[in-house]
A and B are shown apart, each in its own frame.
Chain A
Amino acid sequence: LSRARLGVDLAATFNLVGTLVKYLSLAPLAPAAVAIGYGESPAPFLLATAIGFFGAWTIERLSYGKKHVGMREGFLVVSLTWLLAAAIGALPYWLTADAQFRNPIDCYFEAMSGFTTTGASIVTDVEGLPHGLAIWRQLTQWLGGMGIIVLALAVLPRLRVGGRQLLESELPGPEIEEMTLRIRDTAQRLWVLYIALTALMVAVLSVLAWTGLDSAMTFYDAVAHALTTMPTGGFSTRARSLEEFGPASQWAIAFFMTVAGANFALMYRAFFRRHPRVFVRDEEFRLYLSLLALGSAVLVVELWTEGVLRGEAAIRHSVVNAVSTMTTTGYASTDFNDWPLFAAIVLVALMFVGGSAGSTTGSIKVVRHLLLGRILGRELDQTVHPEAVARIHLNARAVDERILRAVASFVLLYVGVFALGAFLLALDAARVDSELRLLDAVAASATTLGNIGPAFGFAGPMGSFEPFSDVSKVVMIVLMWVGRLEIIPVAVLFTRNYWRT
C-alpha cells in the first residue's frame, strides 16, 4: 500500500501510543519499592522502567508534531498500546534471573495474561517468586482491569484525544446508554470507584486476618488479592489459589467478585448519587444475579448428589467457583479438575456468560445475552406475525437497531474466534503430541478469549500453562489480547477499507 493511499495517520497514532506507553512504563516503580522493602533487588524494575520510558519517548519524539487522533486511528492506538503494555509488563520477568522466566514467550504470556486480567499463568511455583515480582503480577491485573487508556484519560491533563472511540474500545460491553459526561469525567469516576472498592476489600480481608477469623490470611495476601479481585483477574500469590484460605475469606472474595462483575456506572449512581434502587430496576443486573445463583445451584446439586462435597463446603465451593468463572476472575477454592464431567461442562458454559457491561469482566457479558435472546424472540415472532412491529427495550428504553446489529455480530465473532482458537490449540496439541484432551483445548480457548484464567487438564486451576508449546502460547496471547479489546477494534485492522483513504 503506497503512502499516498494510506488512510490512517500513522505518525499521530505512534505519537499517542508513545505517550501512553511512556507513562505506563513508570508502573514498575511500585514493585521496585516493594522489592526494596523485602530486601530484594529493585534492579529489574528500575531497568524495565528505564528501557520502557526511553523506548516510548523515542517513538514519541520520532513522530512528533501531529497531535490529532481521529476515530479511525483510535482502533490502532488501542490495539498497539495493549501489545506494547504487555511488552513493558514482560520486562521485569525477563530481567529477573528466575528459572521460571527463561523463555521470552513465557514472559510475554504472563504479562498479557496480567494486563488482560486473564489470570492464566505459566508459573509453576508461585510461592517461589520474589515478593516484588509477585506484586508486579498482581499490579498488572489491577492496571488492566479498569483499562490503562481509561486511566491515562483520567489522570493525564494533556491527553486530549479525539472522539470517544478510545474509551469505548477499552470499556467492556456495548455502549447502550449514551455517555453524556465528558470523557475525562467518566474516566475519573470509574477509577475513583475502582480504587475505593479495592481499598474496601483490602480493609475487609485485613480485618479477617487480624481478628483471627482466617489464620491463613495476611496483610500481604489481602493487598495481593484485592489487586486481582476487583479487576476480575485471578492471579494469586498462593500455589493453590484460594484453597488455603478459610471459609470467611472465600465468602468475602466471592462477594467482591460479584461486585466487580456489576456495572460500575450503575454502582457509581447507587453509591455516590444515592439511588440504590437503580440496581433493582436494572434488567441486566437482575439477570446477572439470577445466572450466578442458577450456576451455583446446579453445581451444589451435582456435587452433593455425586457425593463429592457436602454441607457448607458444597455450597461454598460451588458458589466461589461458579462466581469466579462467570465473572471471568479465575480463582479456585478447590481443584475442580477432580469434579465430575457434568460439573466441568457447567463451568465451561459459565465461561461464555461473563459479567455486566461496564464491569471489569471479560467474555460475552450478560447484557449481550439478554439482547440476543430478545433479538431471536423478535425474529421468531415476526415469522408468525409478519406485520408485527417491535422495538427491543432494555430497562423500558428502546435500544437502537445499530447497537442490536453490533451485539449480534459480536456474539457471532466471539463464537467464531473461540472455535478457531480451540481448533488451532487442538491441532497444535496433535502436532507436538501433547496430552491435551479436546475438552481441555475447548476450555483453554474459552478461558483465554474470555479472560478467565484456569482451564482443565494440566492447565487446570492448580496447574500451569507452561507445558503448552510456544505456538499454542502465541495463539493464546492473541486470544487474550483480542478478548480484552472485545475483538472488533482488532478485527477492523484486518479489513482493507480500514487502511484506505
Chain B
Amino acid sequence: MKIVVIGAGQVGSTVVEALHDEHHMTVIDLDESRLTALAERFDVRVLAGNGASKRTLEEAGVRKAGLLIACTSRDEINIIASMFSKRISPQTKAVVRTTDEEYLEIWHERELDVDLVVSSERETALAVSRLIGVPAARQTDVFADGQVQIVEFDIDSGDRLRERAGKPLTEAALQAARQGERQHVIGLPLRQAQIPPNSKVASIIRGDTIVVPRGDEAIESGDRIIIIGSPEAAQAWSRIIAPTEGRVEDVVIYGAGHTGLATARVLLEQGIRVRIVEANRQQADKAAEELPGARVFHASGMDAEFIERERINKAQAAVFAMRDDAKNHYAATLVKLHGVPFTIAIVHDAHSVEVFERAGIDVALNPRLITAEEIVRFAHDPRTQQVAMLEGDRFEILDITVRPESKLLGRPFRDLPQTGALIGAIVREGRAVFPHGDDMLLPGDRVIVFTESKRVPIVEQAL
C-alpha cells in the first residue's frame, strides 16, 4: 500500500519506523533537515513542502495512496491536509492527529470527514488510566471492547516491593507478602505454577534476551513478563506481583494542561478521587471550572510543607503532566520520596523515557509514541482490528479475523505448529474465550495473537 505521511517529527518518524518495511511511504515536511535524517534511516521517499497545500499533496501521490497520515504538531494543518486529500481522492483513507479533544468529539459526531482522529491527550489519558487500573502494570492494552487485556509487569525483588508499598514494611510483612500467592507462581516451572485462570504468559524478558515461556521455564525476580488474559485475570496477576497494592482510589495530578485535564476526566469517570496541583492561576481556575469533581490547588507543589499539609503523600498514585520534563522529573522524585508509591510521568522527549524509568519513576509515558502506536494500528492489514506494540516495537499484538481457508482451522490447539506466536484469546460471537489445549479455531473467529514484530507477516499469512 502507498502511504503519505505529513510531518516528520517524533510521531511521523515513529510511524515510518513501524510501517516502512511493508509499505511504500512518502513523507512530507517543511523542514528539509528532518527529511534528510529520516531518509538516511529508512527507505522512504521524502518531499519538502507544505502538507496543507493541494499541489504538494498531488505531487506526493495522494491520488494513488491507500492512506494519508496527517501527524504534524499543528491541528489545523492536519485537518486541512486531510480535507484536501478527501477531495482529491475520496477512497484514500485519512488519519488525523490532533491535540484538541474537541476535534475528537466532532469526529465522533460525524462532522469531520476523515477515517480516524487520534488525540494525543486522550490516548495518553487512557494509557494512564489503564496503568492505574492495574497498579503493578507497566503497560496495558485492551482488546475486544475490554474483554481481553495484555499487560506488561515487572517482577520486583523484595526491595522494590518494599519501596512501592510506600511505608517501610517489616521483614515479617514482607515475608508474608512474598509467601502468599506469589510463591506458587514466581520461581516455579510454568507447568507447575498456579497461574490465574483465563490467562497466559506470552513472553518473559530477561535482560536483553527473550525467553519463550515453555512449560519448564520459570518466572524469576527481575524479569519482565507479558500476560494475555481477562480483566479479572489481569487484576489477579497484579495482586500476585504486587500484593501490597490495592485498588487505586486517590490520585494526584501535577499540571492542568490538556493532558492533565484529559487524564483527570478519565479517572473521575472511573470514580477515582482526583486532586490537581497547578502553578498557573488561570490554568487552575480553568481546571476548577471544567472539572466539578476534582479538587484543584493553585500551588507549585514542589515544597515539602505543601505536600505534607495537603497530604499529597497519602495519594496512591501521582501523575506528572507538566509541560517541562525536568519539572516533572523533580516533582515525581520529590513526591516519591514523601511516600507516594506509584508515579507516572508524561515525558515529552522520547529519549528521556529511559532516563525517567532508571531514576526510579515507575512509568514514563511519551504521548507521541502512544499516538504513533494508535496510528500504526489503523495502518495495518485491513482485517486487523487493533494493533498494540510492546517493548518499543519488539512485539505486536494482532486482532485478526481468521480466513475461512486457513489451515489452522479445526485443529486442537495442542496440535498446532509452534510458530513463535501465541493465540491469547478467541473472540467468538462477540465474546472472548481463553483457549485450552482441546479448543480449536472455527471459521469466523477473531483471534488476539501475540508475536514478535518480525514474525507479523508469517502470522498474518497463516491465519
Contact = CB atoms under 8 A, between A and B. Distances in A.
Say whether A and B bind each other: yes
Interface in A371-401: 385, 387-391, 393, 396, 398
A385 to B, nearest CB: 7
Contacts of A398: 288-290, 292
Interface string B258-294: 0000000000000000000010010011011110100
12 contacts: A385-B310, A389-B278, A389-B287, A389-B288, A389-B296, A389-B297, A390-B295, A390-B296, A391-B285, A391-B292, A398-B289, A398-B290
Interface in B199-243: none
Interface string A308-336: 00000000000000000000000000000
Given A389-B284, A389-B298, 7 more contacts: A387-B299, A390-B295, A391-B285, A391-B292, A393-B292, A396-B292, A398-B290
A396 B290 CA distance: 9
B310 A387 contact: yes
A387 B275 CA distance: 12
Nearest to B290: A398
Interface of A: 385, 387-391, 393, 396, 398
Most chain B CB neighbours (cut-off 10 Å) among A385, A387, A391, A398: A387
B306 interface: yes
A385 B299 CA distance: 11
A84 to B, nearest CB: 44
B297 A391 contact: no
Interface of B: 278, 281, 284-285, 287-290, 292, 295-299, 306, 310
Contacts, number: 33
B310 A390 contact: no
B297 A388 contact: yes
> Which 4 A-B residue pairs are closest in the complex by CB-CB distance?
A398-B289, A387-B299, A391-B288, A393-B292
A388 B292 contact: no
A398 B285 CA distance: 10
Contacts of B295: 388, 390
Nearest to B278: A389
Contacts of B281: 389
Contacts of B296: 388-390
B297 A387 contact: yes
A398 B294 CA distance: 13
Contacts of A396: 292
Contacts of A393: 292
A398 B286 CA distance: 10
Contacts of A387: 297-299, 306, 310
Nearest to A390: B288
A373 to B, nearest CB: 15
Contacts of A391: 285, 288-289, 292
A498 to B, nearest CB: 32
Contacts of B298: 387-389
A433 B292 CA distance: 56
A241 to B, nearest CB: 44
A68 to B, nearest CB: 37
A389 B285 contact: yes
A389 B310 CA distance: 13
Contacts of A385: 297, 310
A349 to B, nearest CB: 30
Contacts of B297: 385, 387-389
A390 B306 CA distance: 18
A449 to B, nearest CB: 34
Contacts of A390: 288, 295-296
A388 B309 CA distance: 12
B97 to A, nearest CB: 30
Nearest to B287: A389
Contacts of B292: 391, 393, 396, 398
Contacts of B299: 387
B158 to A, nearest CB: 38
Contacts of A389: 278, 281, 284-285, 287-288, 296-298
B269 to A, nearest CB: 13
A391 B256 CA distance: 15
A396 B298 CA distance: 21
A385 B276 CA distance: 13
A387 B281 CA distance: 10
A33 to B, nearest CB: 54
A389 B296 CA distance: 5
B370 to A, nearest CB: 29
Contacts of B290: 398
